[in-house]
Amino acid sequence: MLFDTHCHLYDAAYDADRSAVLERARAAGVGRMLCPATDRQTSEACVELARHYDGIYAAVGIHPQEANRVQPGDIEAIRRLAEQEPSVVAIGEVGLDYHYDTPARDVQKDVFVKMIQLALSLDLPIDIHDREAHGDTMEILRQYGKGLRGVFHCYSGSLEMTTELIRMGFYFGFTGTVVFPNSKRAKQVASRIPMDRILIETDSPYLTPPPYRGSRNEPAYVRYVAEEIARLRGLDADCVIRKTAANGLRIFGIAETV
């Protein structure tokens, strides 16, 4: 069984054919999918999808790019979803994104800290988006993240950074970017992190791996990520598929059978 640990299944890109996309995922052996939110509305949408389809789980939270649009009551609403819905297995995706100038860094940091506190108070793992913000992300985790566990989705940090994160209790998600021929660093990191900390994900509908690059991504393509990691590590693809699924079930606390 493949576990796509990060796919935005509520995205409008799937409005015309969502059931067919999920059917193709199933046919490709993807037995579990984690749908991460970016704000209150998408948190509700993830939960709604998890209610309707077997094998879908939700992460609820506020993405750094949405940090300046948080309305009063949003965080409380997200907390209630996490408390009441059994499909919610993580707080995410949350973190810092310094690729763009907005939202202001202080606003992003403030929301990130609140999301960490939410995860800690609910005893849930956290699904972190860290784009061009390694220093501040680590700083905040050191300061506020005692006892926290979770995942760095689409991991882009160094091998050195993984050492500290592994001690803290983190796992590392790899997307289609690891398949791109020019992703030297991601390939190096993915070939050397302990196998029991690696997750695979598509980040659908984004980051489509070859051979489908340029078109919409979907969970069925998560196999290409597993195959590339297997190639990099000199392992059997089935072995990578099995181990990454087991890692995903373990960090998100999902039972092996439904």
Task: Give the binding site for Zn ion (CB under 5 A).
Answer: 203
Specify the residue, 132 or 196, whose C-beta has the smaller distance to Zn ion. 132
Whether 200 contacts 173, CB under 8 Å? yes
Q: For Zn ion, give the closer residue by CB, 66 or 203.
A: 203
Which CB sits closer to Zn ion, 55 or 205? 205
**Cα distance between residue 24 and residue 19, in whole Å:** 9
CB of 21 to Zn ion, least distance (A): 16
Q: How far is the CA of 37 from the CAs of 7, 9, 53, 244, in angstroms?
A: 9, 10, 17, 22
- CA–CA distance, 64 with 104 (Å, rounded to integer): 10
- Give the residue with the Cβ less far from Zn ion, 130 or 203: 203
| Sign of the dihedral defined by the CA atoms of residues 248, 191, 158, 179, in that order | negative
Closest distance of CB 203 from Zn ion, Å: 5
Query: Least distance in Å: CB of 93 to Zn ion?
Result: 5
Burial of 6 (0-12, 13-18, 19+ CB in 10 A): buried
| DSSP label of 83 | H
Q: How far is the CB of 167 from Zn ion (least distance, A)?
A: 25
> To the nearest whole angstrom, how small is the minimum distance from the Cβ of residue 63 to Zn ion?
8
Integer CA distances (angstroms), 234 to 70, 112, 186, 227, 238, in order:
45, 37, 16, 10, 12
**212 or 237, CB closer to Zn ion?**
212
The residue nearest Zn ion at its CB is 203
